[in-house]
A = this chain, B = another copy of it.
C-alpha cells in the first residue's frame, strides 16, 4: 500500500506521542520525529532510541534555547508581559520557536503533514496550529486527539498502555504523574489531574524549577542586573559577571530556584473559553520582570509608560497567550514595544530571599529623567511653586462645573 505521505511529528518520547507515532505508521504515513530542546529536563538519548524503536524514519532534536531566550523571553521582559495579572506566559513563549523549528524540519524533510499530541481542549493545539498554518498556509495538520477514529479508540491511559503492550511500544513507566507538566527554560507548568480541584493546594513535591521558599537559604543573595534597551545584558552576583544571554538566563534560573522565587497557582481563562487551574514556577522570568519594572520607573517617560502599559503590555500578552505570535498584530505591537525601550538603560540591584526579590536600588549612567534636585521637596531650583497653583486652577475649571452641578442637584460631594 502506498504511503499516505510524510509527517513531521512533535515527539516527546512519552506515552501519548509514542502512541501517535505508532498509530501514524499504522495508518501508512512515514514519520519524521522532531523534538525541540527549549531547556526542559529530558533524557535525549532515550527519546532518540524510542523513536527509532517504534519506527520513525528520523529523529531530529534541535537546541532552541538561545533563540527562545533572546527572541521570546527577552521581549516578554521588555513588555512586562503578564496574562490576567499573574501568569508570565512561559508555555506560550516557547510555542512559536518550537512551531517554527518543526516547520523547518518538515520543510527540510519534505513532509506534507505536521502532527502533535496536544489535547482538544487546551491552548497549545491552537498556538501550534495557528503558527503552522501561518508559516506555511499549505501545510496539512494531523491532530489525533481531535480525530474521532483516534480519541474514540484511546479513551484513557489504559487504552494507551494496552496498545503499547500489543504493538511493542517501549513504556518507561506505567505510573503516570497525577498531573501533567510542561517544562522549558522559562518555567515549568503543572495542570490537570489532581490539580483540577482549585480549592486544594498542589502537592508540595510538585515544583521542579523552584525549591521550597520556606526551606530556602537563610542567607539572602544580592544580584545586579544591567539593562540596555530593556534587554538584560549583564548579571553580577557573588563576584561574577555574566553577559551571554543564555548563560545569564540559566544563572538567574539557578538563583531563583535556590531562593524559591517565582511560584504561582492560578485559575486562568483559556483562549477556547474554558477556565483552568495552572501552577507555574518561573524563577528567571520573575526576577527579570521585577528588575525591568523597576528600571523603567527610573528611566522611562511617564506618559509613554502609561500608553505602553495600557496598550502594548496588555495586547502583547494576550496575543502571545492566544498563540498569535506569527500575526500582523504581534508585529505591530512589538514594533511599539521595541520603540518604547530605547531609553531603558541602567541597572538594578536586588536581594533574593525565600520567595522574595527586594529592590535595593537602581541607577542609570545615560538616562537623566530622574533628578534629585528636581525631585527634592526642599529645593526650588528651576521650579516656581506658584505655577502649581495655575496648574491646579486650570485642572479645576471642569471639575468645579461638575461640583456645582452636583450641588444644584442636591447631591453635594461634600456630604457622604
Q: Does B336 contact A370, Cβ atoms closer than 8 Å?
A: no
Contact with B along A264-289 (1 / 0, CB 8 A): 11111100111111000000000000
Residue in chain B with minimal CB distance to A351: B201
Taking a contact as CB atoms under 8 Å apart, the answer to whether B400 and A196 are in contact is no
A275 touches B263 (CB 8 A): no
Which B residues touch A333, using CB under 8 A?
A: 307
A146 on interface, CB distance cutoff 8 Å:
yes
A110 at the interface (CB under 8 A from B): no
> Given A122-B377, A272-B388, A303-B327, A416–B100 Cβ distance below 8 Å?
yes
Instruction: Contact check, A134 vs B396: say whether CB atoms are below 8 A apart.
Output: yes
Does A52 lie at the interface of the complex (its beta carbon under 8 Å from any beta carbon of B)?
no
A266 CB contacts on chain B under 8 angstroms:
294, 297, 359
Q: Which of A39-47, A164-172, A250-258, A309-317 contacts its partner? A: A309-317
Interface assignment of A65: CB less than 8 Å from any CB of chain B = no
22 cross-chain CB contacts under 8 A: A129-B396, A133-B403, A134-B403, A136-B403, A137-B400, A196-B375, A198-B370, A214-B220, A267-B362, A272-B388, A272-B391, A273-B397, A275-B371, A303-B328, A311-B311, A326-B399, A327-B399, A355-B355, A383-B397, A384-B390, A387-B394, A389-B390
In the complex, besides A199-B361, A304-B328, A307-B315, 16 extra interface pairs with C-beta distance below 8 angstroms are A67-B416, A71-B416, A84-B305, A130-B396, A156-B378, A191-B377, A198-B363, A201-B359, A213-B358, A267-B294, A273-B397, A274-B397, A368-B404, A387-B393, A388-B390, A390-B392
